[in-house]
Amino acid sequence: MKSESHVNVIVVGGGAAGLAAAAAAEEAGLSCQLLEAQDRLGGRIRTVPLKSGVFDEGAQMLNGDMRAVLHLAGRAGAHLSPVPRTGIDLCIAAEESLRAEDLISADEIEALLEEQVVRWDSPLEVLRALRLKLKWWNTPWESVGEVKRGLKLLVEKPAAPKDSLAAALSALLLEEEEHAMAFSLFSEMLSAAPEDINAHAVRDISSRYMSERGDLEFQIAGGMGKIVERLASGLRHTPRLEAPVHGIRMTGGNVEVTAEAGVWRGDHVVVAVPPPAARRIAFDLHGRDELDGLLASFTAGDMIKTVVVFESAFWRRRGLSGSVIFSDPAGLVTVDASLDDGLPPRLIAFQGGPLAREWAALPRDMRQARLLNHLGRAFGEDVSTPLEVAEAVWVDHPWSGGGYNATVRIGGNPHAVARLAAWGDRVRFAGAELDDLFWGHVEGAINSGRTAIARITGDLKTAARRQLA
Ligand SMILES: Cc1cc2nc3c(=O)[nH]c(=O)nc-3n(C[C@H](O)[C@H](O)[C@H](O)COP(=O)(O)OP(=O)(O)OC[C@H]3O[C@@H](n4cnc5c(N)ncnc54)[C@H](O)[C@@H]3O)c2cc1C
C-alpha cells in the first residue's frame, strides 16, 4: 500500500464540516489533506439537475441567523429565494383536515410556564395547565422556530421523563389528535421514531440551539451545492476522492490514517463523518472504549425527500400555503419550495422516521403513487398530473447512515453530542451532529469543522509557548 506524504492535518470526510475544516486549516497556514469516501464532495448536500431547475436531494433551506452559510452564499454570488409563506397551513389527521390558526405564541407559552412553575411545584399540575393552552402543536411550518422553542420548554422546564421522547410527549397529556400531530412532527424533524430517541439528549440540543427563526426562510437559487463549490474552490490542496478511510491509529508520534487508496500520516486528524459512518472506522487510540460508547450512542436518521413539480401552484388558489403535517401517516410533511425565478412551482415532501424505512422498501413507483395519493388528500386531484417527480432516499446510506441527521438513541449516553465534540486531542470529531448552536444543519456542520481546527491551532499555540518557556 502506498504511503503518502506527511501533513499537519488530515480531514476525513468531504461534507460541509470536512470542507470547512480543511479551509480553516489552510487559512491557519497548516498543510491539509482531505480524504472523501465518495466520488463527489458535499455529503448530505447534493444538488442534481431536474428538467426545470435543480433538486437539492439533501440540505436546501436556511434562515437569516445562519451566518456562515449566508456569507458563503454571498461570496458565491448566489441569489437567496424566500420560501413562500402565505396561505393556510394544514394538519391532516385520518379523516380530518385542521387549520393551524388556533395558535398561542411561544412567548405566551413561556410566560405561562414561568408563572405556573413559580406557583406550583408539581410538574404534573403544570403540564395539565399547559395542556389547556398548548396549541403550538398545530403550528406546522408557520414557525418551526416556535415549535423548537416549544420542544425546549417541553423537555426543559417540566421534569422530562428520563427515557424516550415518546414518553416525554405522553407526559403532556395531549388530546389524541394533538398527540398524533406532535408524534408525526418529531418523527419528521428527528427522522426517527420518538420512542427510539433520548429525551434528555433532545433537550440538550434544543436548549442550546441559537436561532428562534424557522428553518425555512430562504433557499439558494441553483441549489445548496453552491455552498459546497464555494468551500471547495478555496482549497489549495485538492481533496482526494474515492478514498474511504477504514483505520486511524497513533504510531511513532503521528496519526496514521489508512484508506483503500493509501496511508496518510499527520500531526492531527479531524474525523468529519457522521457518527453512524464513523463506527465503521477502526480506531486504535487511547480512550477507544469511551469513543466506541459515544459513537454507539447515535442512531442514524431515516428520510425520504421528494420534489413534485407542477405547472401551477394550484394550492395557493385555494388559500393554502402548501405546508401540511399528516398524522396519518406519521412522519409525512410537505412544504411549498417554489423559487422566485419563474420556474414551475413545486412542493417538497419529507417522509421521516419509520415511514421512510417502510417506504424505502417499496418499489419507487409504488412509493411515489402513495405519496401523490396523500398529497391528493390535502390539495385535491390537481396533484395527479405533476410535471416531474424526483426523490432522494436517505435510509441506510453507506456514508452518512441516513438523513436528516443522527440523534442520540434511547439507552445511549445522553451527553454524547457534547462529549464527542470535546473528545480527543490529536484526533478530533466534527459534523452537523456535534455543533451546539446549529445542531443538525449545514450551518452547524461548518461551525463544527471550524471549531475542530480552532482547537488544534489552540493546542499548537500552547505547545509552542511551553517550548519557549
Ligand atoms: C434530505 C435532507 C434534507 C436536509 N435539509 C436541510 C436543510 O434544508 N438545511 C440544513 O441546514 N440542513 C439540512 N439537512 C442536514 C444537513 O444536510 C446535514 O446536517 C449536513 O449537510 C451534514 O454535514 P456533515 O459534513 O456533518 O456530514 P455529511 O454531509 O454527511 O458529510 C460526511 C462526509 O464524510 C464522508 N465519509 C463517510 N465515511 C467516510 C470514510 N470512512 N472515509 C472518508 N469519508 C467518509 C461522506 O461520504 C460524506 O461526504 C438535510 C439533510 C437531509 C438528508
List, for residues 344-367, the tens digit of each pLDDT value: 999 999 999 999 999 999 999 999
When comparing pLDDT for 119 and 206, which is higher?
Answer: 206
Q: At 1, is the pLDDT very low, low, confident or very high (cuts 50, 70, 90)?
A: low
pLDDT at 296 over 70: yes
Question: What is the CA(237)–ligand 1 centre distance, in A?
Answer: 22
> Which numbered atom of ligand 1 lies nearest the CA of 304?
1
Q: Which cell numbers in the block locate residue 367?
A: 412509493
- Please give the Cα distance from 440 to 434 (Å, whole number): 8
- Per-residue model confidence (pLDDT) at position 178: 65
Which residue lies with its CA nearest to atom 50 of ligand 1?
59
Q: At 451, is the pLDDT very low, low, confident or very high (cuts 50, 70, 90)?
A: very high
**Least confident stretch, 4-8, 171-175, 303-307, 325-329:** 171-175
pLDDT at 306 over 80: yes
Is the distance from CB of 160 to CB of 203 less than 8 angstroms? yes
**Least confident stretch, 48-62, 127-141, 403-417:** 127-141
Range with the largest mean pLDDT of 165-174, 315-324, 338-347: 338-347
**Least confident stretch, 28-32, 225-229, 322-326, 398-402:** 322-326
Q: Which cell numbers in the block locate residue 301?
A: 436518521
- Per-residue model confidence (pLDDT) at position 111: 53
**Least confident stretch, 18-22, 167-171, 228-232, 444-448:** 167-171
* Residue 54 parent element (H or E): strand 54-56
Residues contacting residue 404 through CB under 8 Å, at least 6 positions apart: 44, 191, 301, 303, 352, 394, 440
- Per-residue model confidence (pLDDT) at position 233: 95
Sheet strands side by side (includes 80-82):
61-62, 218-220, 80-82
Residue 101 identity: E
- Please give the Cα distance from 148 to 214 (Å, whole number): 9
- Please give the Cα distance from 342 to 352 (Å, whole number): 30
The 10 Å CB-count burial string (b at 16+, else e) for 419-430 is bbbebbebbbbb
Query: Residues 194, 197, 200, 206: what is their CA dihedral angle, to the nearest 10 degrees?
Result: -70
Is the distance from CB of 47 to CB of 72 less than 8 angstroms? no
Is the distance from CB of 228 to CB of 50 less than 8 angstroms? no
Is the distance from CB of 11 to CB of 22 less than 8 angstroms? yes
Is residue 58 within 6 Å of ligand 1 at its C-beta? yes
Residues contacting residue 462 through CB under 8 Å, at least 6 positions apart: none
Question: What is the CA(340)–ligand 1 centre distance, in A?
Answer: 26
Mean pLDDT value across residues 39-62: 97
Three-state SS string over 270-334 comes to EECCCHHHHCCCEEECCCHHHHHHHHHCEECCCEEEEEEECCCCHHHHCCEEEEEEECCCCCEEE
- Per-residue model confidence (pLDDT) at position 340: 94
pLDDT at 78 over 70: yes
- Per-residue model confidence (pLDDT) at position 128: 47
> Which numbered atom of ligand 1 lies nearest the CA of 440?
19
- Per-residue model confidence (pLDDT) at position 371: 97
Residues contacting residue 244 through CB under 8 Å, at least 6 positions apart: 37, 259, 260, 399
- Please give the Cα distance from 31 to 33 (Å, whole number): 7
Mean pLDDT value across residues 165-170: 76
SS3 174: coil
For residue 240, with 0-12 CB atoms within 10 Å meaning exposed, 13-18 middle and 19 or more buried, which class applies? middle
Residue % of the chain over a pLDDT of 70: 82
Is residue 442 within 6 Å of ligand 1 at its C-beta? yes
The pLDDT tens digits of the residues spanning 179-225 come to 777 788 889 988 999 899 888 788 777 777 777 777 889 999 999 99
Q: At 21, is the pLDDT very low, low, confident or very high (cuts 50, 70, 90)?
A: very high
Question: What is the CA(438)–ligand 1 centre distance, in A?
Answer: 14
- Per-residue model confidence (pLDDT) at position 134: 44
- Packing angle between helix 442-468 and helix 16-27, nearest 10 degrees? 30
pLDDT at 140 over 50: no
When comparing pLDDT for 212 and 258, which is higher?
Answer: 258
Residues contacting residue 295 through CB under 8 Å, at least 6 positions apart: 275, 278, 279, 420
Mean pLDDT for the chain overall: 86
Residue 330 identity: A
Q: Which of 11, 44, 397 to mutate to test the pocket of ligand 1 (most atoms within 8 A of CB)?
A: 44
Mean pLDDT value across residues 257-266: 94
Task: Answer positive or negative: Cα dihedral of 54, 57, 59, 62.
Answer: positive
Is the distance from CB of 11 to CB of 448 less than 8 angstroms? no
Q: Tell me how far the alpha carbon of residue 441 is from its chain's centroid.
A: 5
Question: What is the CA(298)–ligand 1 centre distance, in A?
Answer: 15
When comparing pLDDT for 159 and 428, which is higher?
Answer: 428
Residue 185 identity: L
Is residue 165 within 6 Å of ligand 1 at its C-beta? no
Q: At 393, is the pLDDT very low, low, confident or very high (cuts 50, 70, 90)?
A: very high
Q: Which domains does the chain have, with CATH numbers?
A: 3-43+224-299+410-468 (3.50.50.60), 47-66+301-399 (3.90.660.10), 102-138+144-208 (no CATH)
**Least confident stretch, 107-111, 244-248, 316-320:** 107-111
What one-character-per-residue DSSP string does 392-443 give?
Answer: EEEEEETTTEESS--EEBTTS-TTHHHHHHH--SSEEE-SGGG-STTTTSHH
* Residue 186 parent element (H or E): helix 176-189
Give the chain's count of helices (H) and strands (E). 16, 22
